[in-house]
Chains A and B, each alone.
Chain A
Amino acid sequence: MADLKCTDLCMTFANQQTGAKVEALKDINFTLKKGELLSVLGPSGCGKTTLLNMVAGFITPTSGQIAVGDRVIDGPGADRGMVFQQGALFEWLTVAKNVDFGLRMQGVSEAESRDQVEKWLATVGLQGFADTPTYQLSGGMQQRVALARCLVNDPDVILMDEPLGALDALTREKMQSLVLELWKKTGKTIIIITHSVEEALLLGERLFVMAPRPGRIHKEYQLPFAEWGLKRSLRDIKLEPEFSTVREEILTMIWNMEEEIMGGA
């Protein structure tokens, strides 16, 4: 386990039809220490997903580099787990088979992986669902399976692209607690992307607010709420005046950004 370091990261897409260049990301620099929890917020189209995909190794940056410790990333790997908005589960497999997928691919025997699977299913609150087909699960449960599937591989970094975006408010709150709990328990480095300001505040030790055109880190915050959230109920935290102040500030910032885009367009 080591730090995650991005240096001078740029990404330019060429539109397939028109050939027009889009600067999805420009000059991104940051270092994420081991065990840090980072949330990324920003208007749609500002390059959040692009950033995450580059860290995961799905796409190669136009320039700049990403390194975990000393190792420069040049492709996807089991050291960086990914959780998608819609679970991306294998619907032809049961919950247990989904969770031990990574272990199976690495040749771990079923007997060995069984304990791991049980442990992680218990951690995410899915005891007794091992043999259920995944298509019979609700959205929240599917995201729990996705988390377990990612954690069982013991990755250095966990990347989450709007993991709770498709859930209803109640489930979402429960899942937010679960994410904090897992962060504490495993001590993993986590990057979580969200378009909800409250969620970004609650689930970020550090918070990047990004701006579009070109995609860049507009402002960075250090926040105490994630630490608080380990001990207190999230709903209480939301009522704190400190929380509201930051929330309003960021909301205004994003509002202005959107205004600027609309005005420019």
Chain B
Amino acid sequence: MLDWLSDNRALVAAVIILCLVGSFFASIFYGLKQTRLREKDQVFGDPERTVGGWFWAVCGVSTLLLVWFYFSWGSARAFFPQAANELCQVAKLHEAVSPVTSSLAIESRYSKSKTLLVRNSRQLDELQARLPANVFSPADAARVTQVMQNTQQLISMMATPDFVDQKTIADIQAIKAGYAAITNELANPKPGWTASADALAQPSWGITEPEIPLLPISAKGAMYNALASDAAALSKDYLKIRNLAPAAKALIAETKTMITALKKSPSMDDGDAQIVKERADYMKAVDRIFKRIDDGKIFPAVVMAEMQVAVQTMLDQAERAKGSLGFVEMLFFPAGDIVKSRTQCTEQGPGRWLPKPTDVVAKFFALANPDVENGGGYKGTTLLWWKWLPISDVVSFLIPDATIDLLPGDYGRLNDAGRFEPNYKDWMLALAQGDVYLGAVPMLDGHIWDSLFRVLVAMFFGILLGVPLGIYMGVSRFCKSFFDPMIELYRPVPPLAWAPLILTIFGIQDDGKIFLLFMVAFAIMVISARTGASGAQLSKIRASHSLGASDRQILRYVILPNALPEIMTGIRISIGVCWGTLVAAEMLAGTTGVGFIENVARTVSDYELIWVTILIMGSLGLVFDLMMRWVIGRLIPWRGKG
């Protein structure tokens, strides 16, 4: 069942989207009707106006989900599953011509020839201007200058149309004709393009890792695919062309000889080390510029201009030939592109970082699968499941090993027969170290439970210690003044600022995180209990004195219950803050927990996983809060009515 849903996510999404659109319009219709009915009874500003309104909640949720489907390209995948494949073929064409476009002024402002020419001429000029006079002997200086002049002459020669030899012109013409042929093909496609059997056997979009199937599955796609390989061949040819006329070749050979001779010349090694080094550096700079030029990649502007028109025409035609595909791309693939790079087609833009809702759900179910051996859970731990917890683990946690040392008597020794017979103390030690099997109890397990456990333990201790201290601070001048500076000093520090310190002291396992959260919960609990205790009405306190209650009784039976609403609010707030802190702390260190999952997902850019964890955190936070609200309503019905 799950597998079927997983394999048909496009279909599932299509059904869901249609339902969402339906509920979107239905809720608006119903909502408007209700508003019209009620408008007469309630004037503007009447708080009653905000009561109820589930239909607008439905509308809001539908809108959110629709926006999600739309921007994650989920609706594109649901209704136009072929489009991504076709866009992939178009992307292939773009990839195929990219070596050419990158050397022309199509994607960049200047053509590559122009950039080369300008940059190298400028560097030559600079180099000539700072020729160090006292470093080279006059003869050598003349030869170096000659090399540079040759290089400059070479650049000019290549950029002059008259010097280009006939073969190069013919090659360029051939490539231009190739592009014209592709353009023509795009404009008048010949019938008979079909998808291969291999292509049709590919998994559909979004099912396996390389998300978009690579081989063309439609006639249009097949055409683009074929033209892309034509274009790739043309690009290869283009890269082979060199603008090296005989005159240029001769000049290159001559200059090369001069450079070699100069380098070998004994006069280059005269003088002290400093001068030799300066001389060598200068020569290296000259040589570097020459080598940038000698492969003949500078072409005259006229020649390139024709080439550029041909390529541009072809690309424009490729765009036009998309036809309806162009509209689909514009409407259903917002804010991004499908890009072909090397061996795969990928979604770039929101399609990438905003995974489709159905994918997120599928990912969640994969994580929630408790069968860790067969790909369930995450990094060897389930999401939320149960396991047998050996009682000995709990016992060994509760009894520190050192207490066994305090027991009377010595540990057993080996006897003369060369055997070791443990005495009672050895057995106790084994118990304290958790080596004795005492049975097991079922216990919750998994990333979510680990996170919850940390929060709950920290909350437990935070309440246990924070509430009494807060109450005493509310009733005692000494307690208030003595503890106030400490708590007020550490409380405003963001918990994460403490994290590195705490994790160093307590270790990156549960202890450190629990202590960090405890600090958060403790401060909030102290402050809320204190506010509650000091907020007791004087007349209530006086009444209880007059009724004969002792100080201790007043604390227990009047001040504590009177502070309960504040304490409960404190618990609600600190659970929220703890939850936020925990996830961040788990991102810093550790091997389990929801924050840990997100941390790993971040490093491998698994956006689906990131969203799954975000949604898990959000919903757990929401559940906590709803639970606390319910408990508060149950426990303190007198809230706000005293």
* Bound pair (A, B): yes
Interchain CB contact under 8 A, B540 and A153:
no
A102 to B550 CA separation, bound complex (whole angstroms): 10
Measured CA separation A86–B539 after assembly (Å): 9
Q: A104: nearest residue on chain B (CB-CB)?
A: B557
- Asked whether B537 lies within 8 Å of A88 as measured between CB atoms, the reply is yes
Contacts A135-B638, A135-B641 given; does A101 touch B547 at CB 8 Å: yes
Asked whether A133 and B547 contact (CB < 8 A) given A58-B542, A90-B561, A105-B557, the answer is: no
**Min C-beta distance of B328 to chain A, whole Å:** 64
Asked if B641 and A80 make an inter-chain contact with CB atoms under 8 angstroms apart, the answer reads: no
Is B542 a contact partner of A101 (Cβ separation < 8 A)?
Answer: no
Separation of A81 and B544 alpha carbons in the complex (Å): 10
B504: chain A residues within 8 A (beta carbon): none
Instruction: Give the shortest distance, in Å, between B602 (CB) and chain A (any CB).
Output: 48
Given the known interface contacts A105-B550, A133-B638, the answer about A76 and B545 at a Cβ–Cβ threshold of 8 Å is: yes
User: CB distance A105 to B638 under 8 Å?
Assistant: no
Min CB distance, B309 to chain A, in Å? 87
Closest to B548 in A: A78
The 5 closest A-B pairs by CB, nearest first: A78-B548, A102-B547, A76-B545, A88-B539, A135-B641
| A76 proximity list for chain B (CB < 8 A) | 542, 545-546
Which residues of A (157-195) have their CB < 8 Å from a CB of B?
A: none
Decide yes or no whether B543 CB sits under 8 A from chain A.
yes
Q: Report the minimal beta-carbon distance from A120 to chain B, rounded to whole angstroms.
A: 13
Interface residues of A in 85-111 (CB under 8 A from B): 86, 88-93, 101-102, 104-106
Chain A residues lying within 8 Å of B547, measured Cβ to Cβ, are 78, 81, 101-102, 105, 149-150, 153
Does B558 reach chain A (CB closer than 8 Å)? yes
State which size class the interface on B falls in. Answer: 20 to 34
Q: Which residues of A contact B542 (CB under 8 A)?
A: 56, 58, 76, 82, 84, 88
A133 and B557 CA atoms in complex are apart in Å by 16
A133 x B637 contact (CB < 8 A): yes
Hey, which chain A residues are within 8 Å of B558, CB to CB? Answer: 90
A92 in contact with B548 (CB, 8 Å):
no
User: Complex formed: what's the CA distance from A76 to B638 in Å?
Assistant: 28
The reply to whether A92 and B561 form a contact with Cβ atoms under 8 Å apart is yes
Q: Do the beta carbons of B642 and A105 come within 8 Å of each other?
A: no
Q: Say if the beta carbon of B128 comes within 8 Å of chain A.
A: no
In the assembled complex, the CB of A97 is this many whole angstroms from the nearest CB of chain B, namely 10
Whether A77 sits at the interface, judged by CB under 8 Å, is yes
A58 close to B545 (CB less than 8 A)? yes
State the Cβ distance, B29 to closest chain A Cβ, in Å.
Answer: 42
30 A-B pairs in the complex with CB atoms less than 8 angstroms apart: A56-B546, A58-B545, A76-B542, A77-B548, A82-B543, A82-B546, A84-B539, A84-B543, A88-B537, A88-B540, A90-B540, A90-B558, A90-B561, A91-B638, A91-B641, A92-B561, A92-B562, A92-B564, A93-B561, A101-B549, A101-B557, A104-B557, A105-B550, A133-B637, A133-B638, A135-B637, A135-B638, A149-B547, A150-B547, A153-B547
Nearest neighbor of A77 in chain B, beta-carbon distance:
B548
What residues make up the interface of B, taking CB atoms closer than 8 Å to A? 537, 539-540, 542-550, 553, 557-558, 561-562, 564, 636-638, 641-642
In the complex, the answer to whether A105 meets B539 with C-beta atoms within 8 Å is no
A97, closest chain B residue (CB): B557
Say yes or no: A88 contacts B543, CB within 8 Å: yes
> A residues 126-158 with Cβ under 8 Å of B?
133, 135, 146, 149-150, 153, 155
A81 & B546 in contact (Cβ 8 Å cutoff): yes
Q: Chain A at the B interface: mostly helix, strand, loop or mixed?
A: loop
The docked-state distance in angstroms from the alpha carbon of A104 to that of B557 is 10
How many residues on the A side are at the interface (Cβ–Cβ under 8 A)? 29
Task: Check A105–B540 contact: CB distance below 8 A.
Answer: no
For B539, what are the chain A residues with a Cβ–Cβ distance below 8 Å? 84, 86, 88
Query: A residues within 8 Å of B by Cβ?
Result: 56-58, 76-78, 80-82, 84, 86, 88-93, 101-102, 104-106, 133, 135, 146, 149-150, 153, 155
CA distance A144 to B550 in the complex (A): 25
Select A77's contact among B546, B553, B636, B637, beta carbons within 8 Å: B546
Cα distance A77–B544 in the bound complex, in angstroms: 9
- Residue from the set A58, A80, A91 with the largest chain B CB neighbour count within 10 Å: A91
Among candidates B544, B562, B637, B641, residue contacting A101 with C-beta atoms closer than 8 Å: B544
Contacts of A81 in B (CB 8 A): 546-547
Contact, CB under 8 Å: B546 / A80: yes
Which among B537, B545, B550 has the greatest number of chain A C-beta atoms within 10 A?
B545
* Sample of 13 further A-B pairs with CB below 8 A, known A90-B544, A105-B544, A135-B642: A76-B545, A81-B546, A84-B543, A88-B543, A90-B540, A90-B561, A92-B562, A93-B561, A105-B548, A105-B549, A135-B638, A149-B543, A153-B547
Set of chain A residues within 8 Å of B537, measured between Cβ atoms: 88
Query: Which residues of B sit under 8 angstroms from A58, Cβ to Cβ?
Result: 542, 545
Least CB distance, A158 to chain B, in whole angstroms: 10
Considering the complex, give the chain B residue whose CB is closest to the CB of A92: B561
The distance in angstroms between the C-alpha atoms of A91 and B550, with both chains bound, is: 20
Closest residue of B by beta carbon distance from A58: B542
Q: For the complex, what is the distance from the CA of A92 to the CA of B544, rounded to whole Å?
A: 14
Which chain A residues border B636 with CB–CB below 8 Å? 92
Q: Which residue of B lies closest to A106 (CB)?
A: B548
Contacts A133-B637, A135-B642 given; does A105 touch B546 at CB 8 Å: no
Task: Kindly list chain A residues whose C-beta atoms are within 8 Å of the C-beta of B553.
Answer: 105
Residues of A near B545 (CB, < 8 A) are 57-58, 76
CB distance from A152 to the nearest CB of B (A): 9
Q: Which of B537, B547, B637 has the most CB of A within 10 A?
A: B547
User: Which residues from chain A contact B543 at a C-beta distance below 8 Å?
Assistant: 82, 84, 88, 146, 149
**A86 CA / B543 CA spacing, docked (Å):** 11
Q: In the complex, what residues of B have CB within 8 A of residue A90's CB?
A: 540, 544, 557-558, 561-562
Residue on B with the closest CB to A84? B539
Q: Which of B549, B561, B636 has the most CB of A within 10 A?
A: B549
B564 closest partner in A (C-beta): A92
A92 with B638: CB separation less than 8 A: yes
Q: How many Å lie between the Cα of A94 and that of B206 in the bound state?
A: 63
Residues of chain B within 8 A (CB-CB) of A91 are 638, 641-642
In the complex, the chain B residue whose C-beta lies closest to that of A159 is: B546
Most buried by A among B548, B553, B636, B638: B548
List B contacts of A80 (CB < 8 A). 546
**Chain B residues positioned under 8 Å from A93 (CB to CB):** 561
Give bound CA distance, A111 to B125, whole Å: 111
Shortest Cβ gap from A135 to chain B (Å):
4
A56 nearest CB neighbor, chain B only: B546
Query: CA–CA, A80 to B544, complex, Å?
Result: 12
